[in-house]
Structure 1
Amino acid sequence: MSSVVKKTDVILIGAGVMSATLGTLLKELSPEWEIKTFEKLPSAGEESSNEWNNAGTGHAALCELNYTTEKADGSIDITKAVNINEQFQLSRQFWTHLVRQGLLRNPGEFIRPIPHMSWVAGDKDVEFLSKRFKALSENPLFQGMDYSEDHRQLQEWIPLMMQGREASEKVAATKIDSGTDVNFGALTRLLFDHLKTQGVEVHYRYAVKDIKRAEGGGWRVKVQNLNNNQVEQHEARFLFIGAGGASLPLLQKTGIPESKHIGGFPVSGLFMVCKNQAIAEKHHAKVYGKAKLGAPPMSVPHLDTRYIDGKKALLFGPFAGFTPKFLKTGSNMDLIGSVKPSNLLTMLAAGAKEMGLTKYLVQQLMLSNAQRIAELREFIPDVKDEDWEVVVAGQRVQVIKDTPQGKGTLQFGTEVVSAADGSVSALLGASPGASTAVHVMLEVMQRCFPDQMPQWQEKIKAMIPSYGVRLSDEPELFKEIFDSTAEALGLEKIAEVRS
């Protein structure tokens, strides 16, 4: 092991979209800072950010029914939907800045317009969707959304889903053309290609072995070069852990108080992919349904048009699988190894409380291919099983932590954990994840760089005009920004949606 300690300003662990976003923001704001990235795999964006390991949806709550809930009085709470949409607008604006500066030259490589649709069947869910549509339509962020229960209209929107469906079936859908398909793998690779031109050191096949406090502040990171097995010591004033499922074990190595009483439970995703290109060409939308009663939010079924490697694809899922690994390329000891004295009671409490999740996972693991096809048939009545195959998507580690609601509470969103002194921050959790990367990384910066933020404000506003503003309260500004980003990114404008 080398005794030389190599010092730098910032170390990013994990070459996914979160590290890529944070590194790009920091280089725009303080180009003189030295940044190093360490990634265990051979290239960027190979795990959670990879295009085959996530849904590729630009999550803006345009179609995801789990972001709106029905309250006891029957009204619809759209608070979470509005917040997620606001956050996605920040990502659009930052990507637009990078395109206009020539740092991302072809936005079509990572983002495309695609209608976002919600789909339900049965009287109760149709009533819910109707109320949801009315509630969202009153908010400027959801302009251009249409609603229909008419089979003829739905035949025009989603012919593949309506073909062979009984005319008497009660169904409904909402549709908004300004949705997006985002290839987060491609975006991640593009951002790291740019960062390397800015002097950022990106080290692939480097595994982090230990993390310790450095004398005088900051963090010392012990890494192993997997190409020659040599061990190196690196030190930085600020450390960001954006390693997907591996973030929790790495956070635990820091020993900070904020890492205590946090656990994680791995869930893998399976998708069905259409092998028949002629069938895939008949569908052009991301269509999200409603999770079945008792199923967790992550189980919302959706039939998605995707663009991967420049080719149109059609995917349906997700179906849940289980492995104790925290990453697809992880170890079967990951789950056991993450249980520490500091989070044992938290994990045990979650196990006792989340019997519904356990039951759901067992049921999912026992599904046959015929049963998966039966679920797909609810979306495509005329489905033929020979046209579809199952692929294993990414691993997600659902965060378990103690909250005011109780010990061992399962979290379904994205979690940022930072040290009190702001010297280290880690990203945990899952959806909406990558779609809100810019918002999440700005939150990291607010927590960890309070002294620098005042001097960065003007430049952040130049890159992200709505920073610090709620666009839902400023409809004219929203339309101006939305149309401007749409033009730069090759997407649908609000005016075009209305016409």
Structure 2
Amino acid sequence: MSNRQNKADVILIGAGIMSATLGSLLKELTPDWEITVFERLASAGEESSNEWNNAGTGHAALCELNYTNEKADGSIDISKAIKINEQFQESMQFWSYLVKNKRIRNPQNFIMPLPHMSFVRGSQNVSFLMKRFETMFTNPLFQGMEFSDDPEKLKEWIPLIMQKRATNEPIAATKIDSGTDVNFGALTRMLFDHLESKNVNIHYKHRVVDIHRTSDGLWEVKVQNVDSGTVERHTAKFVFIGSGGGSLYLLQKSGIPEGKYIGGFPVSGIFMVCNNPDIVAAHHAKVYGKAKVGAPPMSVPHLDTRFIDNKKMLLFGPFAGFSPKFLKTGSMFDLVTSVKSDNLITMLSAGAKNIPLTKYLIKQVRLSKEQRMEELHEFIPNAKSEDWDLVVAGQRVQVIKDTEEGRGMLQFGTEVISAADGSIAALLGASPGASTAVSVMLELIKKCFPQHIHEWEPKIKEMIPSYSLSLMENQELLHEIQTSIVQTLDLAGKDQSNLKGNMNTFQKA
């Protein structure tokens, strides 16, 4: 092991979208700080941020039904939808700033305009969707949302889904054209290319094996070169652990009290990918349905147009799976070794509380391709097995912790755990994750660098004009920001004449 000390102001562990976002924000706020990044894989954005390991949805609560709940009195609670929408607006403002100032280029390589739709079947679900629409469409954040339960109108919106569909049951959909498809893998790589050009030290194929506090208050990380096996020590005033499912392991290594009594439960995902170009061309939207009873929120079924490597694709899923790995490239012992003396009871409590989820996952793991096709038939009635292939997506580690509601509560969402003095922080959890990266990292900066916030605030507001404001309550600012975003990120309507031609050909066939 080398005895040479390598010092930095900030160490980022993991080269995913969260580290890329935090690094980019800090480089704008404090260009002189020395930032070092460690990533155990050969390049950036290869785990959870990779385009094949997530849904690529710009989560703005436009179509995701699990962000809007029906209350006991029958009314619809959209407070979570409002929060997520405003968080995504912050992400797009920051991306626009980066494009406008030539930090990154060619936004069409990572974001594309795409209608977001919700689709339901059955009278009870149609009633829910109608009430959801009536609650949302007058809100300025969701202006432009449409509702229809007319099969003829739905044939215009989603011809692939409606083709050869029986009309003897109530069906309905909402549609809003301001949705997006986001290639978070491409965006992550762009951001790290920019950081590298700004002299950020990025070390690929370097794995952090230990982390601890030194006597002088710095954090020391021990880093192993994956190829040579050599180990070096690096110190920094601040450390961010943004290594996806691997964050829990390093959080536990840090020994901070805030990291105790926290566990993780891994859930993997499987998508079906269409290999028939005619079918791919016949669909142009992200269409979300309702999760089945007992299914985790991350398993909401959706039929998605995707743009990967500038190629249009069609994916359906996700189907939940189980692997004890905390990362797609992780170890089969990840789950077992994450259980410590302080979180054992928490983990056991979670197991007792989530027996239905366990049964659901076991059932999902045992599904054959034909059984998965049956679920696809709910979206595409005449789908054929030979037109679809299976692709294993990423691992997501759901946070388990003790809350006021009880011990061992499973959390579905994104959480930042930080030390009381703000010197170290770790990101845990899953969706909406990447879509809210800017908002999450701004909160982290506010919490971990309180001494600088007053100084940095003017620059933050330059990058994110809505910072500390509610866009819902500032409609003029909302309109101004959205107009600028559409222009800067090139989100105005694309030429879809070829798409419409392909749809007509498919319908005639």
User: Which residue is 2:385 aligned to?
Assistant: 385
Asked whether the 8 Å contact 1:14–1:40 carries over to 2, the reply is: yes
Shift of 1:296: 1.9
Q: Distance in 1 between matches of 2:167 and 2:47?
A: 43
Provide the rounded CA distance (Å) in 2 between the counterparts of 1:486 and 1:252.
Answer: 42
Q: Which residue does 2:249 correspond to in 1?
A: 249
Q: Which amino acid in structure 1 is aligned with residue 127 of structure 2?
A: E
Q: Work out the CA distance in 2 between the residues paired with 1:165 and 1:470.
A: 42
1:118 maps to which residue? Answer: 118
Secondary structure of the corresponding residue to residue 335 of structure 1: helix
Task: State the one-letter code of the partner of 2:109.
Answer: E
Report SS of the residue matched to 2:253. Answer: helix
CA-to-aligned-CA distance 1:11-62 (integer Å, 9 cap, x gap): 0000000000000000000000000000000000000000000000000000
**How far apart, in 1, do the equivalents of 2:294 and 2:33 lie?**
49
The equivalent residue for 1:218 is 218
1:376 aligns to 2:376 (yes or no): yes
Q: Indicate the SS of the match to 1:190.
A: helix
Superposed displacement of residue 277, structure 1: 1.2
What CA distance in whole angstroms lies between the structure 2 residues aligned with 1:144 and 1:183? 24
In the other structure, the counterpart of 1:59 is 59
* Whole-angstrom distance in 2 between the partners of 1:285 and 1:361: 28
- The count of residues paired between Structure 1 and Structure 2 equals 493
Amino acid corresponding to residue 225 of structure 1 in structure 2: N
Alignment of 1:394-413 (within 5 A): 394-413=394-413
The correspondence of residues 322-337 of structure 1 with structure 2, limited to 5 A, is: 322-337=322-337
1:170-206 deviation digits (Å, cap 9, x = unpaired): 1000000000000000000000000000010000000
Partner of 1:92: 92
Matches within 5 A, 1:306-455: 306-455=306-455
Helix, strand or coil for the counterpart of 1:138? Answer: coil
The 3-state SS of whatever aligns with 2:232 is strand
Separation of aligned partners in 2, 1:169 and 1:382: 17
CA deviation vs aligned residue, 1:210-267 (integer Å, no higher than 9, x gap): 0010221120000011122111000000000000000000110000000001000011
Shift of 1:108: 0.4
Asked if 1:40 corresponds to 2:40, the answer is: yes
Q: Offset of 1:368 from its aligned partner?
A: 1.0
Deviation for aligned residue 1:492: 4.1
Matched residue SS, 2:249: helix
Counterpart CA distance in 2 for 1:228 and 1:350 is 40
Amino acid at match of 1:317: G
Unaligned runs of 5+ in 2: 494-509
SS at match of 1:402: strand
Q: Look up the equivalent residue of 1:146 and give its one-letter code.
A: E
Hey, what does 1:149 align to over in structure 2? 149
Over aligned residue pairs, what C-alpha RMSD do you find? 0.8
User: SS of 1:8's equivalent?
Assistant: strand
One-letter amino acid matched to 1:466: S
Query: Are the aligned partners of 1:177 and 1:492 in contact in 2 as well (CA < 8 Å)?
Result: no
- How high is the TM-score relative to the length of structure 1? 0.98
Whether the 8 Å CA contact 1:70–1:128 is kept in 2: the answer is yes
Rounded Cα–Cα distance in structure 2 between residues aligned with 1:491 and 1:65: 24
- After superposition, give the CA deviation of every residue in 1:466-494 in whole Å (9 maximum; x if it has no partner): 0000101111211111111111001149x
Gaps of 5+ in 1: 494-499
Q: Secondary structure at the match of 1:431?
A: coil
Query: Offset of 1:142 from its aligned partner?
Result: 0.1
Distance 2:295 2:431 in 1: 16
Letter in 1 for 2:488: A
- How far off its partner does 1:138 sit? 2.2
CA contact (8 A) 1:178 1:492 kept: no
Q: Give the direction of change, closer, same or farther, for the CA distance of 1:384–1:302 in structure 2 (3 Å limit).
A: same
Please give the secondary structure, in 2, of the residue aligned with 1:401.
strand
Aligned to 2:502: none
Moved more, 232-241 or 132-141: 132-141
| Partner SS for 2:229 | coil
Write the letter of the residue equivalent to 2:481. I
1:286-297 matches, cutoff 5 A: 286-297=286-297
Residue 328 of structure 2 aligns to a residue in which SS? Answer: coil
What corresponds to 1:106 in structure 2?
106
Q: Does the residue aligned with 1:314 lie in a helix, a strand or coil?
A: strand
CA distance in 2, matches of 1:437, 1:492: 24
Q: CA deviation at 1:169?
A: 2.6
AA at the equivalent of 1:357: L
1:496 corresponds to: none
Structure 2 distance, partners of 1:157, 1:250, is: 47
Deviation at 1:332, TM superposition (A): 0.5
Which residue number corresponds to residue 4 of structure 1?
Answer: 4
- Residue identity matched to 1:329: T
Report SS of the residue matched to 1:491: coil
Q: Deviations over 1:422-446 (max 9, x none)?
A: 0000000000000000000001101
TM-score, normalised by the number of residues in structure 2: 0.96
For 1:480, the aligned partner's letter is: E
- 1:497 maps to what in 2? none
Which residue does 2:505 correspond to in 1? none
Q: Deviations over 1:253-297 (max 9, x none)?
A: 000000001000011000000011111110000000001122221
Task: Give the match for residue 490 of structure 2.
Answer: 490
**1:117-136 residue pairs with structure 2 within 5 A?**
117-136=117-136
Secondary structure of the corresponding residue to residue 381 of structure 2: coil
Question: What SS class does the counterpart of residue 490 from structure 1 fall into?
Answer: coil
Where 1:425 maps in the other structure, the secondary structure is strand
Determine helix, strand or coil for the equivalent of 1:36.
strand
For residues 354 and 437 of structure 1, the distance between their equivalents in structure 2, rounded to whole angstroms, comes to 28
Check the 8 A contact 1:119/1:173 in 2, yes or no: yes
User: Which secondary structure does the structure 2 equivalent of 1:49 belong to?
Assistant: coil
Distance 1:233 1:293 in 2: 49
Deviation at 1:396, TM superposition (A): 0.3
Distance (Å, rounded) in 2 between the aligned partners of 1:226 and 1:379: 44
How many Å separate the matches in 2 of 1:283 and 1:116? 12
